[in-house]
Structures are given as structure tokens and as C-alpha cells.
Structure 1
Amino acid sequence: MTVCAIDVTTTAPFTIAADGSYAARLAGDGEALYAERWTLAGAEAYAVPLPLAQPEEADSEVLALADGRVLIHRRVAERHAFALLYPTGAAAGPRTGELQLGSVEAEEGLRVRLLPPCPDGLGAFALAVGDAGTTVWQVAGGAFGEVARIPGRCSGGVWLDRAGRMLALDREPEGGAGAVKAVAVDLGRGGEVSPLLQIAEASEDRLLLADADSGLLLIRSDAPGEPRLGWGVLGSTRPVRFPECLRLEEETTPFAVQPGQALMPETCGVALRVGEAGLALWRPADRHVFRLGSPAGWLGGTGLWTPEGRLHLPYATPEAPCGILGMSLPPAPPPPIRLDPPAAAAPRPVPLQQALGVPTR
């Protein structure tokens, strides 16, 4: 394993397609921004610029699809517009094609953002949050339009299955009366809502990441008395665990989980961003977090695990404008002779089995 020296991470938006074949970001200097697609499936990563006649705004969002196209979300006048960008390979030189998909009216107070890449690789969804509630829009991979309306203001966004049907959101109840709880939204049934996390009645329980193969869930909750990072298993009645090793001084956010570990959540590698530029690796079975240096030019808290346990981190520097660093999780240290106290657990079992149960609103 080779690790570069710690450097300030690049904060440009960067997304990786669900299958790891492509990635996308906003590239360029100053106000001369353009979408850039990275091809990751070959022996060496390479970038293809997708400029248009007008530069992109800094608040535009990009999302890579598994077919090589790049979805872009722009604020245009009084609407949020969505389009697909792709290289055309014209004889006169590379050109960028653009396919307009549709738009969402920019009502006062409405916040619209792209959700993480859909697991099927081709669909794309956006979350529109306003005073009247939350709407999920399908913006690519199907008919453009609303697919779910959810009472309350929602944030987050984590996929729970491989089909792109079950979406977890962190929901604030209508009127703001009550704690934020993660709920499961069934997009295949008009947005039916089911409880997902209910650790304690008054606790704020948010879902950060999930892996469909193992059922591993990464959670942030204040049920232990303060906001803590913990883990649970989808469909399990066992309580969420809040390991002491994840109780770091800096803000810690999981950004990638190892797939392919069917029914073995404890063995999944988890990548953590620590503070502004720190990197750490961890397994639920371990009582230790491996603190590592992050690569120079690391593209802000993004990465992708392979099923074999290899973590790929994208980076861009003046010398290497398109690079991928690979690393593996170190072997777990031997257990100490004297056992540590057990990790703090939630006071109540988490009804994760309700995630696919009878919908409640």
C-alpha cells in the first residue's frame, strides 16, 4: 500500500457511477468551469473535458452515469434545469453533445439537489425540499417527473437496494415538531414511507451510508447522549453499536463501504473522512481505526471500494490531473489480552425490519 503525504483536498464536486466505470466533476480555473468525465474501467484512468459555449456556474452539480454520459443540474433563471452531456467525437475534433431532459420550477424557498448515483447506473433522481414538503423527481433513466411526495422536510439520501427502488431519507416532521428520523421511501409504490431508524423516541437518527449486499448501515445518532457514529444491520433486531474507536475528536464521515460481503457486515471495509483532509479505514469487526495520510489532491471525501477490498481514491494535481490511488485495508491487529469494555449500544433495538413493512405517513 502506497500513501501520499497529506495535502489539502480538492473540494470540486465529484461523483462516481454506481458500477465504478465512470466519474464526473467540474473542472477548470476561476469562472471558466466545465464538466469533465473520467473513465475508470481501463488499466489507467483518463479524463475527457465536456465544455460548452458558456462556462458552467460553480454551483452546478454533475453526476456520472454508467453509459458514459454526465448528468448536469443547473440553476437557469427561474428553474432548475437538467441535461445530459456526452462527447460526440466529431471529425473536426472533440465536441460536447447536450440533451435537455426537463426542469423544475424554482419556487421561493425551494432547494433542489441531485441524489447519489442510482444503483442501476442509468437512473438519476433529485430531491426538492420546500416549506410544503419534499418531492423526489426522476430526472434521467425514465420519464422526467415527480415520483414521490413526502410530508416534512427531508435531507440525506441513501439507496437501500440494487434496483434503485428503496431510498432512505432523513425526515424532519411537518412543522418541525419532533426529532429527525431516517425513513424508507418506496419509489415503486408512489413514495410509500416506512420507519427505518427509531433508536430512542427523542433521538435524532440519520442514515449516512448503506450496503445492499451485507445490509451494513452507517448511522449518526445522539441516542448515546451526544452525536455519535454507529453501525447496524438492515432487517436486524440487534441494537445499533457505537464503537469507542469511532469517537474521534475531528468530525468523521463515512464515504464508501466495501460491497460483495453478502450477510457479513462485520467484514466490510469502511472509508472515513476525518476532519478536512484526513483519511481512515475501519471494519465493524475491528476495535481500531487505521489513520492514514490522504493523497495529494484527493477529490474531497470520495472513493470506491471493490468487492475484493481495494479502495480507489481519485486525485488531481498539476502533475497528474487525473489519477486513482489504490490501497487495501491493513490486517486487523491481534486482540489484547485484557478485553476492552463493550461498545456502547442503543437503549432500544432498532426496528430496521420495518424498512420494507407497512407504510406510514
Structure 2
Amino acid sequence: MTACAIETAADGDAVREAVFTIAADGSYAARLAGEGDARFPERWTLDGPEPYAVPLPADQPEEPDTGLLPLADGRVLIHRRQGGASHAFGGGAGRHSFSLLYPTGPRTGELPVGTVECERLELLPPAPDGSRAYALSVGERSTTVWQVAGGAFGPEYVAEVAGRCSGGVWLDRTGRMLALDREADGVTKAVAVDLERGGEVTPLLQIAEGSNDRLLLADPDSGLLLIRSDAPGRDRLGWGVLGSMLPVRFPECLAPADCAVAPFAVQPGQVLTPESCAVALRIDGAAGSWVGVWRPSGRRLHHLAGPEGWLAGAGLWTPRGVLRLPYATGAVPCGVARIEAPQDVVITEPAQAERAGGEPFEAPDTPVVCKPVPLQQAPLTGRGARG
């Protein structure tokens, strides 16, 4: 499971057009390098003996809100907004153009893919197969899923989902099941969208009737889910397991005082052992940004210093538990630091139930039906079958 560094808009919306995005297989990454009026795409190669960067400048500088997404073949999808005021999700009505960039000698090759005309549009995280790319167009009452790369005829309509959707997490290795955070009647709930069945929607998170339940990360190998919900009374990080009948848990260690905590990568390859997965978190506090490492079985949040110039919120795990963190400094413009996951004393006895917000989560005295992650009836069955 890889992740990207996310910028946050002034209104608090998470912007998927990130400052650093890693391909689904960890082979490449892309970012908008430069500063001010001299920004340009840059591709990083991560799967060789040493990382290296290749600049992909166009004939003119890119806008600060330009989106980039690396594909597994080394090309980089670029999303440019044309017309309308600049906005975290694309601004006013206008055109969204897509092209594929690739190095060709000393210059940058550019293959136009096509355009989408809409008001608001954002790239989704890299698709698991590494060859396709998707985007969300958010309307007043519904959200459209577009395939913007990897098709035969340019951008293609995929599905329309009722409600205003955000986020975007892939639930399987095939790119069939997509989780979105859907707002309806003032409440946000994560839903699973089957892209092979015309966008058929299945409830994913239903922790409490009126709670806002969002999915942040999912690991298809183990089924581990990282969740943010206000069911405990305030926004808290929690975890559950895809298809499990156990309740979602909200560990106290994931709510350090005076800090913002956001997961960005989950250790892959831990099939059927979600409690052993190492999770990397970005922690922001008064002292700056640093790295947290946590496992459900250990119930302890380890605080680690990131490398100088860390592209905060970006990184990926190896299956053996090595966390790779990209960084850029004046002396090292393209670097990857490696951190071994700290060892935990595994706690095997059942945790004692605490009040709302403890581990595991219990509803307050008011009788509220708290459901687990309800995917037993969904089309995503059997992680071993990959979707």
C-alpha cells in the first residue's frame, strides 16, 4: 500500500491533486517541482538501486493546482484546469485537459488524452493495475466517475453515484471496487462502488446512525481499514477489518494531544493477519511534522523523526516492514530514507471495553445500533480471489 503527500485547502477539504504521488506498484512517483511561477512536473524512479528524478518541463510553467499521477510504465498523467477560478477541486465551470508526459531525449514528450467539461474534478489515487487513471466530477446532487487514462477513446464515463462524493480508496487489486465518502442529508458515510456493475453502491461503514464515517486507507491483502469517524463523540482515527463482525476500534494512542494524525501507508503482504500490519502516519504538531508507526496488535504509537526535506505525508512500505520516505534537499534533490518498523510487544489478551472512543468502541448509553464493516453482502468477497 502506497500513499501520497496531500495538500489541504484553506476550507479543510483534502486535495487529491497531491504534492507527491506514488504509483500503485511503487515503481515511480511524480511531483510538481519548482517554486512560484517556475513549476514543472518531475518523475521519480523508485524501483532501481538508487532513486533518481527526471524533469518533464512543458513549453511554459505549470499552475500550482496542476495534478500529476504516475503510471506503471513510466509515463505521467498531467491534469490541467482551463477556465474558471482556481479552486481545490477545479474551480468554476471550465475544461479539464489530460495528457501523458514522458522523457524523450532532452525534451518532454506529451500525448494529449482528451478533456472533460465540468465544474469540479479531482484525480483519484493511482489505480491498482497501474495502467488506468480515474477522476471524480462532483455535482450538486451526484458524482461522476471518469476514466481519464487507459481507455481506447480518451476520457470515458464510468458511473454516476447519487450524492456528493470525496476521498477515494481502492478495495481490491483489480481496480473494480472503489470506496468513496458520500455525503447525503448532512451525513457522510463511506460506500463501496462496483465499477464493473455500472457503479452499483453498497454501504461500507455504518458505525452509528448519525455519525460521519470516512475511509482513509485500505489494504487489499489483509483487509485492514483505517477510518475516521465522529461516532466516539469527536473525530477519531479507528481501524476495522474488511468483512469482519468485530466492531471498529478507536485506540487512544492514535489521538495524541494537540496533534493532527493522518495515516498514509499500510504494510502490504500480511495476508489474513491485519493486526500485524505496520501503519505509517503523518503527525503534525507545534514542533512540525514527523512520522508515526503503529500496529493494531501492539497498541502503541511510535514517534520517529522523518528525514530532512521529507515530502511530508508520502511514503511506502515494503512487505518486510521497511518504510521508505522520499525527501528532497538542496544537497540531495531526490532521496529515499529507509526506516525499519519498530518492534512491538504483541498484546494477545482481549482489550477491555471502555467508554466511547476507547478500544473497542462502545456506543453511549443511548441505544444506538453500531454495525461492523458491513461487506458480507457486497460483491467484494474473498480477498484471496482479488475482487
Q: TM-score, normalised by structure 2?
A: 0.84
CA distance in 1, matches of 2:250, 2:323: 24
Match of 1:356 in 2: 378
Do structure 1's residue 150 and structure 2's residue 161 form an aligned pair? yes
Deviation at 1:336, TM superposition (A): 12
CA contact (8 A) 2:353 2:362 kept: no
Do structure 1's residue 206 and structure 2's residue 214 form an aligned pair? yes
Match of 1:327 in 2: 339
Match of 1:281 in 2: 293
**What is the DSSP-based 3-state SS (H/G/I as helix, E as strand, rest coil) of the residue aligned with 1:245?**
helix
1:225-304 to 2 correspondences below 5 Å: 225-249=233-257, 250-275=259-284, 277-304=289-316
Deviation at 1:349, TM superposition (A): 3.1
CA distance in 2, matches of 1:340, 1:238: 14
Residue number among 27, 33, 36 corresponding to 2:39 in the alignment: 33
Deviation at 1:344, TM superposition (A): 3.4
**What is the DSSP-based 3-state SS (H/G/I as helix, E as strand, rest coil) of the residue aligned with 2:306?**
coil
CA contact (8 A) 1:184 1:355 kept: no
**What is the DSSP-based 3-state SS (H/G/I as helix, E as strand, rest coil) of the residue aligned with 2:253?**
helix
Match of 1:3 in 2: none
CA distance in 2, matches of 1:336, 1:139: 46
Residue number among 183, 194, 198 corresponding to 2:191 in the alignment: 183
Residue number among 322, 325, 328 corresponding to 1:310 in the alignment: 322
Q: Which amino acid aligns with 1:259?
A: P
Match of 1:6 in 2: none
Residue number among 95, 115, 122 corresponding to 2:107 in the alignment: 95
Deviation at 1:300, TM superposition (A): 2.4
**Structure 1: which 4+ aligned runs deviate by more than 3 Å?**
9-12, 333-337, 339-342
**What is the DSSP-based 3-state SS (H/G/I as helix, E as strand, rest coil) of the residue aligned with 1:266?**
helix
**What is the DSSP-based 3-state SS (H/G/I as helix, E as strand, rest coil) of the residue aligned with 1:241?**
coil
Deviation at 1:237, TM superposition (A): 1.2
CA contact (8 A) 1:195 1:354 kept: no
Deviation per residue, 1:270-301 (Å, 9 max, x gap): 00011151210000101210001111111120
Match of 2:367 in 1: none
**Structure 2: 5+ residue runs without aligned partners?**
8-17, 84-93, 364-369, 381-387
Match of 2:384 in 1: none
Answer 1 or 2: higher relative contact order, Cα 8 Å, separation at least 6: 1
CA contact (8 A) 1:297 1:317 kept: yes
Match of 1:166 in 2: 177
**Residue 229 to residue 35, structure 1, CA distance change in 2 (3 Å):** same
Residue number among 129, 136, 154 corresponding to 1:127 in the alignment: 136
CA distance in 2, matches of 1:203, 1:163: 30
CA distance in 2, matches of 1:341, 1:194: 29
Deviation per residue, 1:93-133 (Å, 9 max, x gap): x1111011111113xxx321100011111110001112131
CA contact (8 A) 1:196 1:354 kept: no
Deviation at 1:333, TM superposition (A): 4.0
Deviation at 1:28, TM superposition (A): 1.5
Q: RMSD of the alignment, in Å?
A: 2.0
CA distance in 2, matches of 1:283, 1:355: 28
Q: Which amino acid aligns with 1:184?
A: A
CA contact (8 A) 2:247 2:360 kept: no
**What is the DSSP-based 3-state SS (H/G/I as helix, E as strand, rest coil) of the residue aligned with 2:196?**
helix
**Residue 113 to residue 336, structure 1, CA distance change in 2 (3 Å):** closer
Q: TM-score, normalised by structure 1?
A: 0.90
CA contact (8 A) 1:161 1:212 kept: yes
CA contact (8 A) 1:10 1:299 kept: no
Do structure 1's residue 74 and structure 2's residue 85 form an aligned pair? no
Deviation at 1:341, TM superposition (A): 6.5
**Structure 1: 5+ residue runs without aligned partners?**
1-8
CA distance in 1, matches of 2:80, 2:205: 33
CA distance in 2, matches of 1:352, 1:43: 43
**What is the DSSP-based 3-state SS (H/G/I as helix, E as strand, rest coil) of the residue aligned with 2:300?**
coil
Aligned residues: 339
Q: Percent identity?
A: 63
